[in-house]
Each structure stands twice: as structure tokens, then as C-alpha cells.
Amino acid sequence: MRFTQRLVAVGAAVALALPSAQPAPAQSPGQAANAQPQPVQQGGFVMKVNAELVLTNVVVRDAKTGELVRGLKQSDFSVYENGKPQQIAAFDFQSVDMARPLNEATVSGLAAGASSANKAVVVGRPEDLRNHRLIVMFFDLTSMQPEDLDRSVDAARDFLRSKMQPADLVALVSLGDTLSVDQDFTADKNALVNEVGIYNDTEGQGFAQGANANSNQVEDTTGYTPDESEYNDINTDRELFALRAISKSLEKITEKKSLLYFSGGISRDGIENQASLRAAINAAVRANLAIYSVDTRGLQAVTPMGDASTGSLRGTGAYNGGALTNNMNANFATQEVMATLSSDTGGKAFFDSNDFAPAFAQVERDTSAYYAIGFHSTNPVRDGKYRKLTIKVNRPGVKVEYRPGYYAPADFKHSGREDRERELDEQLASDLPATDMAVYLDAMYFRLDENLFYVPVSLIVPGSQIPFVKGGDKDKATLDVIGEVIDEAKRHIGNARETVKLNLDPSLQARQKNIEYTTSFNLPSGKYHLKFVVRENQTGRMGSFEADITLPEMKKLPLRMSSIVLSSLRRPSKQQSPLVRGGEEYVPNISHVFRQDQHLYLLYEVYNPAREKAAANQPKGAKPGIDLLSSLELIQGSVKVYESPLVQAKTINVEGRDAVAVELDVPLSDLKPGSYVCQLNVIDDAAGSFAFPRFAVLVREPAPAAVPVPGSGGSQ
């Protein structure tokens, strides 16, 4: 295994598509010392941490009947942190049976929170929320078909009309082209019933603005960033960022909250960023928010031939069980993320049922009553380490449910070199992703020999995420990059570690571009897990990205291909790598977003192409030629709007690897702005084998012309 690194500034910054998904700004140590409680959760119960008080919610049940145990006093509880006893400083019991009538004016700010995740929820009198049940109904309009939406709206209206209790406060949120809070917390049943009817046009004006029941149903997708809109447009993980935004807007309400998530499934096509899933879960945990996922597709019949949303099958898959297995796996994959969201936040997932009433009943049961306990930790060290909690009740025959631990706060600016290095190592090993800074990754593969692959890894950090400082006439910043490759047996196969010093000319406008870090590994065929962590060293913010990559056994494939590299930039290079052709290196375009004034460059390799039959007049000893055909189609909707000229390869052009490198150049000036599905047609005519991989791209209008800056003689 070997690796190399390179760092460049590429791309152009663009406007934010989902303001609610924007990461929170880093706090200074002074701010952190006075921060509001930050919850951490496992198994459905929440811990809040600040410099003074640690809070956790505790549910005590009868071990035999499962009934709630009420009437316990502070003296009945004992709290231990890492085995050391702690003195209880705050104690409270909340139950919906004790709820008082609520002045609606005391609850506001969820809507403001959705327009900006950094805004605090405004609560006039927090004590007025005690003993109330707070429920958010979140309708993912982008994933639901009309009949799915009708079922979810009918179930919500039935709950609101007949099951909603006086202690309940309900809010309505929807995700269409934007994240929208359609109704802040209220106990007004009529207002809620009318507002929820907007989603399926049984009340009000129909879909929320921009919503579309099929707006994310594309063939394939690519990366998504909460900070640069070019990563927002064609990514199915936007639901996870929406959940994170909702959670952030609810952080300042300390009571337990529940979110009913109505969705037609979350697809994980494209870049498999596992960190984005964990970030959504952690945000919900910190906000004391349990997610109850409801698959609105209801009871489904999975058939080998698929449904009307897919094209006709070719081959024998429909008859040998392969197609049925694939369809069942695809359906399970869309439910897996929803199940994880629920289990890891203390909620529950509801699948394969046309009756959604049990979801509402579960929310009511789980939030009826709980004890809130707080203590001042006897350990003042801000080291960020995990601290185990043990809570005991001096009552026999009871079962105690609580969060078994929390992470202590950490202070970056006052940490030494060893502590900072340890922090990177711990973050790399941690199951909890760092998400304070946006990081995006893509990994590809090219075969070097029979069982060895060259794996280039591209890492993107938006320049707007980096706090550049002025140093003379340069913009300066320092990034720490650490990464690892793990095989199926959980063995560490490769690693990367580098401190990168950025010393850029201001004319590059680095804050408006993306910083790309590249490295590469040589790996044998198999399945691998990649994780990278990036930290900027001004405030200590970190971001992480995780992805899986499978390096296939080529000899088992009818058509042996490398990854397909999409690029809008080719730069001179003297390096020897599969990404360099004719002295120019293809810079991977992770976002798959292009402008009309750019070209779409494609590069891929085909290995061991079949030889044609020898011609009768062929010289003795000469090798027969090959016949490899390639073209690219761009499809918008169901219409093919472009097809590149056919490229034909007759000879091997990568010596020593028995490979053909194919390059395609598609000018985009004649294409209209919009989303396209690209189909690459690859045919090995001599072997009778072929492949038609598809991927999504977005074409935008050209960048605006430079505007002269008065008195500088330059431009911006």
C-alpha cells in the first residue's frame, strides 16, 4: 500500500439551498462556558451538559408490569459518574397528568429555527412547558406518492381530532424543495387539522410551495453539502440534513420531544456518507428529540418484475429469483435508515402496515412521565472523554431506564500539541461523527494488475468553512487531515496523516471556492471502509466523512471497467497515474455540477478487451485488434436531448496493463440549465458484452462576469 497527497483550490462557491441545514458556528471558550445544556442520548433518554450542570431523564418502571413508578423522591436516587458518587443538585418529575393550560404566546421560534438552524427557540416562560407533550409531525413530501400522502394525512387528522389530549402541543413541518414550518407548536386542533390538509390538497392551497411528490426520484445521485448549493441539488440525503435542522431549532426547549417522521423511505444512492446519518441522529439526541419513523408506503407486495415506476427487465433475473432479491434488498435499504434514526434516538419505527395509529399511541406512551435529575460533576477537566453514568433507585422490583453516559466538554484553544493529536486520533476512532465543518469525499478505482487497484480519494472542504487569516499579502489557514482504510475483518490497511498549510493569493478568492485534498491507496480486491477527518486549526472545528468501496474481482465480470471519472478541469501534470492522460490530470468533480461555459470530461478504463478474429491477410505473429465502442447520452425526463459522437477504440492504449483508456469531451454550451441523467454506453463488440451505467448531473448557467473593484485595478 502507498499513498500520495495533493491540495488544490477548485470550484466556485454558490448560495445556500437549505438555510436550515447550515452548520452552527464554532464557539469560543468563553461562549462554551456559558452554553445552554447540550443533550446526548442513548436508548431514548437524554443527557444535557454544560459547564455547571449535567441533566438526564430517568424512567422508572415496575419490573413485572412495566407500569410507571410514581412518587419517588430525590433521596430515592443515587448517581455515579465513572464509579464516583455525585450529589444531586436538581430533581423534578414531569407528567402530562399534571399539565396546566398553556398560553400559546409562550411557545414560538420553531419556525424561526427552521429558517436558520442557529437561531434559538424563544420560550417566554419555560416553566409553562412542564408536563406537556411536545410532538412534531414531519412530512417528507419529496419521498411520498399521492396515495402515501393521503394515508399519512388521514392518520394525522384522525389523531388530531379524536386522540390529541389537552397536554399535547403539536407542530407541523414539511420538506418539499425547501424545509418549511407550516404550524408552530399549538394546542388548537382546528388549526392543525386545516394545516395538515394542505399537504394533500384537502384543505388550503395544496402542496407546500415547491413540493413535489417525486422531486427526488432520479436514477442516481451525488454529493450534498449543507453549505454550498451545488451539493444540495441532487442528493437524497437532504432528508437527514432537514432532520438535523429541525433538531437544532428545538435545542433550547429542555423537555422531551417526539418527532413523527412520515416518509416513503430514504434512498442512499450516490455517495454513501454514513457520517451524515450519525450527524442527524446526534443532533436529535442533543435536542432531546426521539424520532418515530412511519413508512407511508404501508403494506407492500414486492414482485420480481417491479412496479410501474421501473422499466421492463431484461435477462433471466425475473425467473431465477435474482430480481426479487434485488427488489427486496432495495426496499429494505430505504427502510434501514429510518429504522436507525428511530432506534438510536429512543423512538420506534413502523413499517409494513397500513394502520398508522400505533405510531401515535407509542408517542403518547413514551412521553407520559419521567424524572429529570441534575448534578454538578466532580471532574472539572474539559477533556472531551466519555463518562459513564450509573443511576440506582433504592426501591426493589423496579427497572430504571436512562442514558448511561455522556461526553465531557473539550476546549481546543487551550489544548497542547499532544492533546490535539489525540483528539484527531480519537475522532477517527469515534462512532460519533464530527460535523462542525462540511467535508465531502469520493473514492474511485483503476486496476493496476490482476488483483491490485489504484484507489484515488478526493476530499472537498468548502472555502467558506475555513477561517482564513491575513498574513502579509496572503490568505493563510492550516488544516489537519487524518484518514484510514479498514477491510472487512476490521483490520487497518492504510492511513493518511498530514498538516496542510494554506498560503494563498487573495486573488484566488479561496473563501468562494472549494479546497480539494487528494490522496491514493494501492489495494487488493475486496470491500473497504474509508473514514477521513479534517480539522481547521483556528477554532478547532472538525468534519468527517465515511464511505464504503468495493474493489471487484475483475475476472468474474463480463465487461471489466474502472470507475467513471467526471471532471470539469484538466490540469498539466507530470505524475504517473491513471488520472493523467497526455500530460493532463483529470480533477474529479465530486458534486457532478457543471456550468454551461464548461466541458463535461469523462475518463474510464476497460481491461482485457476481447480480440477480434484474425483476418486472413494478417501478418504472422501480429495480435488481432479490439473493437470497443463508447458514447454518452444525456436524458431529461424521458427525452434524450444529447448523444456524443461514437468513440471507437481498436488498440490497447495503456501499455503494461492491457487496458484501454477512453476519454469523452462534451461541451455544455448548447444544453439548457437543469438536471440530467447521463447514460454511458460501453460495448465490447468483439466479446458481445456491454454496460450502460447511469449517473446524474446538474448543468447551471455560466458564472457571472467579474465586477471591477473601484480603485484596485483588479476584479472580484
Tens digit of each residue's pLDDT (9 = 90 or more) over 34-43: 333 333 333 3
Predicted local distance difference test score (pLDDT) of residue 623: 67
Predicted local distance difference test score (pLDDT) of residue 332: 62
231's enclosing H/E stretch is none
Dist CA 137 CA 160 (whole Å) = 11
In this structure, what are the phi and psi dihedrals at residue 483, rounded to the nearest 5 degrees?
Answer: -155, 165
DSSP 65: T
Dist CA 178 CA 115 (whole Å) = 10
Per-residue cell: 346: 429512543
Q: What is the mean pLDDT of the chain?
A: 76
Question: Is a pLDDT exceeding 90 seen at residue 486?
Answer: yes
Question: Is a pLDDT exceeding 50 seen at residue 118?
Answer: no
Per-residue cell: 600: 463535461
Q: What is the mean pLDDT of residues 377-402?
A: 85
Lowest mean pLDDT among 83-92, 159-168, 309-318, 627-636: 309-318
Note whether 173 and 182 are within 8 A (CB): yes
Can you list the domains of the chain with their CATH numbers? 1-12+416-556 (2.60.40.3880), 106-366 (3.40.50.410), 561-716 (2.60.40.3880)
Note whether 3 and 494 are within 8 A (CB): yes
Dist CA 341 CA 281 (whole Å) = 6
Note whether 666 and 642 are within 8 A (CB): yes
If one compares 653 and 314, the residue with the highest pLDDT of the two is 653
Q: What is the mean pLDDT of residues 332-342?
A: 79
Full-model pTM: 0.55
For the ranges 157-161, 182-186, 215-219, the one whose mean pLDDT is highest: 157-161
Predicted local distance difference test score (pLDDT) of residue 384: 59
Measure CA of the first residue to CA of the last residue in the chain; give whole Å: 43
Left (φ > 0), alpha (ψ -120 to 50) or beta: where does 621 sit? left
In this structure, what are the phi and psi dihedrals at residue 369, rounded to the nearest 5 degrees?
Answer: -160, 145
Predicted local distance difference test score (pLDDT) of residue 552: 93
Question: Is a pLDDT exceeding 60 seen at residue 498?
Answer: yes
**Neighbouring residues of 298: CB distance < 8 A, sequence distance ≥ 6:** 148, 151, 352, 353, 354
Predicted local distance difference test score (pLDDT) of residue 142: 83
Predicted local distance difference test score (pLDDT) of residue 104: 52
Question: Is a pLDDT exceeding 80 seen at residue 586?
Answer: yes
Question: Is a pLDDT exceeding 50 seen at residue 237?
Answer: yes
pLDDT (tens digit, 9 = 90+) per residue, 372-384? 888 999 998 877 5
Dist CA 579 CA 592 (whole Å) = 17
pLDDT (tens digit, 9 = 90+) per residue, 433-452? 888 898 999 999 999 998 89
Dist CA 432 CA 279 (whole Å) = 8
Q: What is the mean pLDDT of residues 543-550?
A: 93
Residue with cell 438526564: 56
Q: What is the mean pLDDT of residues 617-645?
A: 84
Question: Is a pLDDT exceeding 70 seen at residue 551?
Answer: yes
Predicted local distance difference test score (pLDDT) of residue 256: 81
Question: Is a pLDDT exceeding 80 seen at residue 392?
Answer: yes
If one compares 138 and 99, the residue with the highest pLDDT of the two is 138
Label residue 406 by pLDDT band (50, 70, 90).
low
If one compares 191 and 13, the residue with the highest pLDDT of the two is 191
In this structure, what are the phi and psi dihedrals at residue 61, rounded to the nearest 5 degrees?
Answer: -125, 155
Q: For residue 416, count other CB atoms closer than 10 A to its CB.
A: 8
If one compares 114 and 631, the residue with the highest pLDDT of the two is 631
In this structure, what are the phi and psi dihedrals at residue 102, rounded to the nearest 5 degrees?
Answer: -105, 135
Strand-by-strand arrangement of the 133-140 sheet: 179-186, 168-175, 133-140, 257-263, 289-295
Predicted local distance difference test score (pLDDT) of residue 99: 62
**Neighbouring residues of 381: CB distance < 8 A, sequence distance ≥ 6:** 408
Question: Is a pLDDT exceeding 60 seen at residue 496?
Answer: yes
Predicted local distance difference test score (pLDDT) of residue 133: 85
Question: Is a pLDDT exceeding 50 seen at residue 643?
Answer: yes
Percent of the chain with pLDDT over 70: 71
Predicted local distance difference test score (pLDDT) of residue 429: 85
83's enclosing H/E stretch is none
**Neighbouring residues of 268: CB distance < 8 A, sequence distance ≥ 6:** 236, 237, 333, 337
If one compares 327 and 245, the residue with the highest pLDDT of the two is 245
Note whether 478 and 536 are within 8 A (CB): yes
Predicted local distance difference test score (pLDDT) of residue 404: 65
Q: What is residue 450's three-state secondary structure? A: coil
Q: What is the mean pLDDT of residues 310-327?
A: 48
Left (φ > 0), alpha (ψ -120 to 50) or beta: where does 336 sit? alpha
Dist CA 388 CA 83 (whole Å) = 8
Question: Is a pLDDT exceeding 80 seen at residue 167?
Answer: yes
Predicted local distance difference test score (pLDDT) of residue 293: 92
Question: Is a pLDDT exceeding 50 seen at residue 21?
Answer: no
Label residue 411 by pLDDT band (50, 70, 90).
low
Residue with cell 498530514: 498
Lowest mean pLDDT among 90-99, 122-131, 595-604: 122-131
Question: Is a pLDDT exceeding 90 seen at residue 600?
Answer: yes
Q: For residue 104, count other CB atoms closer than 10 A to its CB.
A: 12
Q: What is residue 257's three-state secondary structure? A: strand
Angle made by CA atoms 436, 439, 444, in degrees to the nearest 5? 160
If one compares 8 and 264, the residue with the highest pLDDT of the two is 264
